[in-house]
Amino acid sequence: MCGIVGYIGNSDVVEILVNGLNTLKYRGYDSAGVALFDENKIKVYKAVGKLENLKDKLSTVKSEIKNPFMGIGHIRWATHGKANEVNAHPHTSTTSDIVIVHNGIIENFKELREELIKKGCVFKSETDTEVVAHLISEEYKNTKNLKEAVKNALPQLKGAYALCIMSINEPDNIVCVRKNAPLIIGVGENENIIASDIPAIISLTSNIIYLNDDEIAVVKKDSVSIENLDGTIIPCKIVKMFVETDAISKMGYKHYMLKEIHEQPNIVRNLLNGRIIDVNSSVELPEIKISKDTLKNLSKVQIIACGTSLHAGQIGKYLIEDFAGVSVEVEPASEYIYRKNTTDENSLVIAISQSGETADTITAVKQAKGKGAYIVVITNRPDSNITRYADSVLNVNAGIEVSVAATKSYTAQLLTLYLFAIYLAEIKGENLDKLSDLKRELLSIPTKMEEILTTEGDIEKKSEQLSKYKNFVYIGRGVNLPTAMEGALKLKEISYINANAYPAGELKHGPIALLDENMPVVSVLIPGHISYDKTISNCEEAKARNAKLITVTSSNDEKLSKLFDVIIKIPEVSDILSPLLSVIPFQLLAYHISNFLGKDVDQPRNLAKSVTVE
Ligand code: G6P
């Protein structure tokens, strides 16, 4: 949610800032801006809409920009105030002596704004951010030093922030700081770069400093110095990172989403590698640092997450209850945090978050930790904020996911939940007879995923036919209900078509009133479980109301072709493992419908990949 880049050095500042923002588009994309320190002036350029609009603007003012030596840039996902040019970052103080970019939310901005107005500050925007520029400017009057001014301003702020700040009086440094929002510094040769996330810096350097909360960094061309609020000097710990250049390239695919869908078989294969060494031996999860005795005696498990990660968690409930026999509650993090829950020191709380930055999930984890619960975090970003509160971190290792709609991180989360559920069952000595077969079948999943991907052309044709509908109902039962929910979510997110998911058995209790020839019903049908026949009956009920029927199924039953208008086949798979496969056709359907309708697949309107506000 909002991306930040800062650069100081002799390279082309505009190019570095714009290229950096380009890699952070997944964090927001409703407006963008840069501030350049050029000819002893701070020049600010902003544009509403996509980053391309800012690029166009910068090219029209090229002659105004001489030789900037440093600059800061921002890409926005609006929280306070509309997405317009005035509200776009960077924001300046009244006299424009201070300029800042900000990611996060200043919760007490209204009070601060009133106080600052009384002091004579003139506000231009509706944002929470602008108060920070004025506040630092006021503090600068006393300190005459940017770092000290920032240090004095910070204790007055409530909320979350990653900030890059420049002062007109300090032409050779950018000051940056973070609290509950990510910020890293890339250390180069005679140049340094600051950013919200790794993709923005990898073309420049692989040396990174991870800034911690309330650490203030003064970044010059050839040095970085860090101290905390009380002035203690913090040694700069430079970490060499593994450069995932493939992750930020489309590798020939039209969209990141399609590339990421196709990466799933290998991600799952790599995750299985070293975890299931022999189907007759226990699953290896050395990252779980919670003692086996504790895990054996858990009273309950709670899973908290948001969005797609929540759907993975809902499947996790089936797995943990089925394999390990422990009762599991699953809840959206945003609900968990505002009710009196029963988490205690015998609870295991599993928080799932692709980004590890989702504010709702982080708040929930902090609360659960405060109640003494054991915390396992399942994330794609093991260096993220949420991992600070974890007793154990399970890295799903899906690689950087660029497309806003989650795909590969979802199947990687699912696989991690399968492994964890089996691990727990083995510790508890539950269902040992069936776990070897399950592990054997898990090993076959990557190849079956590849088989589904070979049918993409067929799914694309079907998507074209289906793209004329304005509404869809998705249904599923048991372990495939969350799959139906995820399928509906994918369609909504990237094509803006109304798609709602229901437990198949609930269709007749209300939603059936919606059905007619304009409302297709999409189902998941996996033989081998009682829910198969029951779901077919629900589809019959929908057919009787003239609904067009679409199914994703592993069944070879020829009778299905009489009932269903569109059948998307997946390889044979047991019901309990089917979510790893049945979601892929749904991802492809959503992708091709969105692409066919000409929507912006990778950056759907109103969404951001990391939602760092509650
Ligand atoms: C946002 C994204 C969703 C994502 C959700 C949870 O809403 O648009 O795609 O599923 O956040 O994100 P997380 O990073 O916590 O998994």
Task: Determine the 3-state secondary structure of 37 from DSSP.
Answer: strand
Task: Indicate if ligand 1 lies below 6 Å from the C-beta of 353.
Answer: yes
pLDDT of residue 244: 67
Which protein residue's CA is at the shortest distance from atom 8 of ligand 1? 609
Residue nearest to atom 1 of ligand 1 (CA): 609
- The pLDDT score that the predictor gives to residue 243 is 67
- List the catalytic residues: 2, 609
Output the pLDDT for position 29: 84
Q: Give me the percent of the chain exceeding a pLDDT of 70.
A: 99
Q: Is 611 in the pocket of ligand 1 (CB under 6 A)?
A: yes
Band (614; pLDDT cuts 50, 70, 90): confident
Judge if the beta carbon of residue 308 lies within 6 A of ligand 1: yes
Residue 2 CA, ligand 1 centroid: distance in Å: 14
Atom 3, ligand 1: residue with shortest CA distance: 307
pLDDT of residue 383: 85
Report percent pLDDT > 90 for the chain.
89
| DSSP per-residue string spanning 252-267 | T-SSHHHHHHHTHHHH
Structural tokens at position 52: 């391309």
354 CB near ligand 1 (under 6 Å):
yes
Q: Answer for the pair 209, 237: CB distance below 8 angstroms, yes or no.
A: yes
What would the pLDDT profile of 265-304 be if each residue is shown by its tens digit?
999 999 999 899 999 999 999 999 999 999 999 889 999 9
- How far apart are the CA of 402 and the centre of ligand 1, in A? 12
User: Which residue type sits at 405?
Assistant: A
For residue 181, report the distance from its CA to the centre of ligand 1, in Å.
15
Q: Residue 215 pLDDT > 70, yes or no?
A: yes
Q: Is the CB of 355 under 6 A from ligand 1?
A: yes
Among 361-365, 384-388, 580-584, the range scoring the smallest mean pLDDT is 384-388
Q: Kindly indicate the confidence band of residue 27, based on its pLDDT and cuts at 50, 70 and 90.
A: confident
Using the predicted structure, report yes or no on whether residue 612 has a pLDDT greater than 80. Answer: no
CA-based nearest residue to 12, from 99, 71, 54: 71
pLDDT at position 257 over 70: yes
Question: Has residue 15 got a pLDDT over 70?
Answer: yes
Ligand 1 neighbour 492 (Cβ under 6 A): no
**Nearest residue (CA) to ligand 1, atom 15:** 353
pLDDT band at 28 (very low <50, low <70, confident <90, very high): confident
Residue-wise pLDDT tens digits, 310-350 = 999 999 999 999 999 999 999 999 999 998 889 999 999 99
**110-138 mean pLDDT:** 97
pLDDT at 133: 98
pLDDT at 595: 97
Q: Over 90: is that where the pLDDT of 162 sits?
A: yes
Q: Which domains does the chain have, with CATH numbers?
A: 2-243 (3.60.20.10), 245-443 (3.40.50.10490), 454-602 (3.40.50.10490)
Pairing, β 70-76 against β 3-9: antiparallel
For position 245, what pLDDT does the model report? 67
- Check pocket membership of 443 for ligand 1, CB cut-off 6 A: no
DSSP E strand boundaries for 407-518: 471-476, 498-503
Query: Residue 90 gets which letter from DSSP?
Result: P
Q: Which pLDDT score is estimated for 341?
A: 85
Identify the DSSP state of 532: H
Please tell me the predicted confidence (pLDDT) of residue 165.
Answer: 98
**Which residue among 27, 309, 360, 496 is best mutated to probe the pocket of ligand 1, counting the most ligand atoms within 8 A of its Cβ?**
309
Q: Is the CB of 487 inside a 6 Å radius of any atom of ligand 1?
A: no
Strand blocks (E) in 445-602: 471-476, 498-503, 521-525, 549-553, 566-569
Q: How far apart are CA 465 and CA 15, in angstroms?
A: 43
Mutate to test the pocket of ligand 1, among 1, 306, 357 (most ligand atoms within 8 A of CB): 306
pLDDT in tens, 77-121: 888 889 899 999 999 999 999 999 999 999 999 999 999 999 999
Phi-psi category of residue 606: left, alpha or beta, with phi > 0 → left and psi -120 to 50 → alpha: left
Model confidence pLDDT, tens digit, residues 515-548: 999 999 999 999 988 889 999 999 999 999 999 9
Give the per-residue SS3 of 363-412: HHHHHHHHCCCEEEEEECCCCCHHHHHCCEEEECCCCCCCCCCCCHHHHH
Q: What is the pLDDT of residue 137?
A: 98
pLDDT-derived band at 248 (thresholds 50, 70, 90) equals confident
Smallest CA separation from ligand 1 atom 2, residue:
609
Burial class (CB in 10 A: 0-12, 13-18, 19+), 61: exposed
Instruction: Indicate which atom in ligand 1 lies nearest the CA of residue 409.
Output: 16
pLDDT for 550 equals 98
User: Does the beta carbon of 86 sit less than 6 angstroms from any atom of ligand 1?
Assistant: no
Cα–ligand 1 centroid distance for 356 (angstroms): 9
Task: Give residue 353 CA to ligand 1 midpoint distance, Å.
Answer: 7
* Residue 328 confidence (pLDDT): 97
Q: How far is the CA of 354 from the centre of ligand 1 (A)?
A: 7
Top mutation candidate among 354, 377, 612 for ligand 1, by most atoms within 8 Å of CB: 354
Mean pLDDT (the chain) is 95
Q: How far is the CA of 307 from the centre of ligand 1 (A)?
A: 5
pLDDT at position 171 is 95
Cα of 544 to ligand 1 centre, how many Å? 37
